[in-house]
Structure 1
Amino acid sequence: MHVPDGFINAPVSAATGVIAAGAIAVSLRGARRELDERTAPLAGLVAAFIFAVQMLNFPVAAGTSGHLLGGALAAILVGPYTGVLCVSVVLLMQGVLFADGGLTALGVNITDMAIVTTVVAYLTFRGLVKVLPRTRRSLTASSFVAALISVPAAAIAFTFLYALGGTTDVSIGKVATAMVGVHVLIGIGEAAITALTVGAVIAVRPDLVYGARGLTQKLKLRVGGELVDAPDAAAEKPVPVAARSHRKVWIAGLVTSLVLAGFVSFYASANPDGLEKVAADKGIDKKVEEHATSDSPLADYGVEDITDTRLSGGLAGVIGVGVTVVAGSAVFWALRRRRTTDTDPASTASVTSSSETSENA
């Protein structure tokens, strides 16, 4: 659903840019509270994984394909504020390096694909979690529903923005019907990917899933042939979070991302995605503009001067995963260090002491 330059006029694009900048500023502050010893090491990896899976367009219907948006997945794995930042990092890398999503439309894409999907998905997820049992199965099901709803929500948001600033005279009713219809189908794919990923991480390391915090299962004892909850004192003492290494999960996630982007992406559907198909069918792409970085050596997810299509696309995918994980990790570690500095009494005392010494001198 990457909106290119020329779909939305300058005033609305500028307004969404302001909205996106404000949301990112709020998310930077919020992420400092979310990024702890569990989420900080994985946030950059989540961004890289979303980048990789977005390369895997899957067929939907009538010559249309879809791909992961990632807002629901990021929000559930690392938190809503950090999730907005994860998807924003991906969109920035795609726009600047791969000419995917217009640069003047970056505010539109962040508003639509990062903010709307993350907020809608997380609110849906939290609402379901409150009324369902706190089990792995219910959390996975909640992630499925949240992701499913987030995609047509993004389609509705795009339709609203197009109604405000569309550059062609097209019936908004027809655009809305087409966008929501195809993105409900795409949402099923998004929901399946999200649920499978969340379920897999919960099965291995539930402590690393932000949305699964508080998920505990009491020890069961068989009394008189029936299973009953054991007293709290009999429950196994949990392993401290800091004592459990994230390295294996991080390496497994990175390898998976590299394989998906570098190899599996070659078999992705070549059909236009939902927005491209609707744009072509309804005529809202008449004023589309050439991307500002269309001459990038990685434009269109291929490496310039490499004629082998498989090698070119695979190498571009690997580069994209690498750049995204480095950029994302740098941002999130910086935020984590800032939080540590702000909350460390020793640091505060040191700063105060230095200040007092300077004043006395």
Structure 2
Amino acid sequence: LSGFPQNIDPMIFKAVDELGGIFHFNEDYNSGNPLGFGWLQSTITTEGRRSSSATSYLALKYIERKNLDVLLNARVSRVLPSASKSSSSGYAFRTVEFAQDLDGPLLRVNASKEVILSAGVIGSPHILLNSGIGDSNELLDIGIKPLVNLPSVGKNLTDQPGIINQFLVNSNKTTDNFFRNATLLNEVYTEFNRTGMGPLVTIGGNQISFFRVSDSLTDMLGDPSSGENSPHLEMFPENGFFGIPPPTGHYLTLVTAVVSPASRGSLTINSTDPFANPLIDPGYLTSPFDIAAMREAIRIMFRYLSAPVWDGYVLSQFGDFANITATSSDDVLNEYIRNNSGSSAHLVGTAAMSAKDADYGVVDPDLRVKRVEGLRVIDSSVFPFVTSAHTQAPTYAIAERAAALVQAAWL
């Protein structure tokens, strides 16, 4: 939980008390029912430092192990197959090709057991495609010899579209001060480095909230969520301007996001150069559900700000949001949504898991790449759909499960 209070904390929950209904308090949104408002849970240590997979799983006591080597400043180009197909399940991919410099030589290392790709939702499918694993026709079109026909590689790209909605407020106790006052920033930075305390131990917001869309919307367009306790929408408050603030004014930000989107995008390549950037089409808002859900998110936000506690605090709206109201038409909201939606950086799905005997998907439930030997993918690209939540904890869960699978196979 947050190590530093924000000025808006009491107002956030006062509004919850005043409104009730969908704006109820949720003591633990990781309990299996995340709906409502709760305290944000972050991976921050008691010393106010970020705790990540790098600091935890590659901490000094692990990095010094004799059976672990981490090669820095290296980028994988391809995984390479054995000289010929095995008799059972096609090629075995146990050789990794990489370079330590853009113009440097391509080097190779061989795995005695298996190769694990953990290059992420962009990197892993990119490597697979460069290796000849993907849609055979698409690979032939760009001059890459197809080795394994897996049309699902790079498809099913899913992200949660979000909008940053900002308000001018009647307060000078916001995070905007740190961007404008170098002396103040130096003071709080010194406090943070010396004690691990102060305003820099938080991300600017201490709460998070999740909601479902109306039954009428799911009746009309279907329900992409995983169940009745799974949210479609998120609203995240921040005590300040999200990003670099304007020269004057103090702000409240309410980020609205569709966390159970129906839209899908793709990742493809158009070059035989393994280090050329892939083509990423996130496919935002291509489903009518996502547009309609974001409209409901914006209207829920206005309902939340109608609580009496915000009277006199919220003064006006900012930027493209200035002309949006609780009664704006669908067409007006649609234009605002299309012009202002962006990534939540919660991408998943480009090497999606499916049943062993399914003719779609990229990996099986053991995270082994289908139709080959010696190759697994272990990262958020294997999610068949995005969780109705942020993706950090589910990604760690997949990794822990994968570690158990690998141990079971070889130990």
Shorter-chain TM-score above 0.5: no
What is the TM-score when the length of structure 1 is the normalising length?
0.28
Q: Of Structure 1 and Structure 2, which has the larger fraction of its residues in strand?
A: 2
Q: Of Structure 1 and Structure 2, which has the larger fraction of its residues in helix?
A: 1
What is the TM-score when the length of structure 2 is the normalising length?
0.25
Higher Cα Rg, which structure? 2
Higher-RCO chain (CA-CA 8 Å, sequence separation at least 6): 1
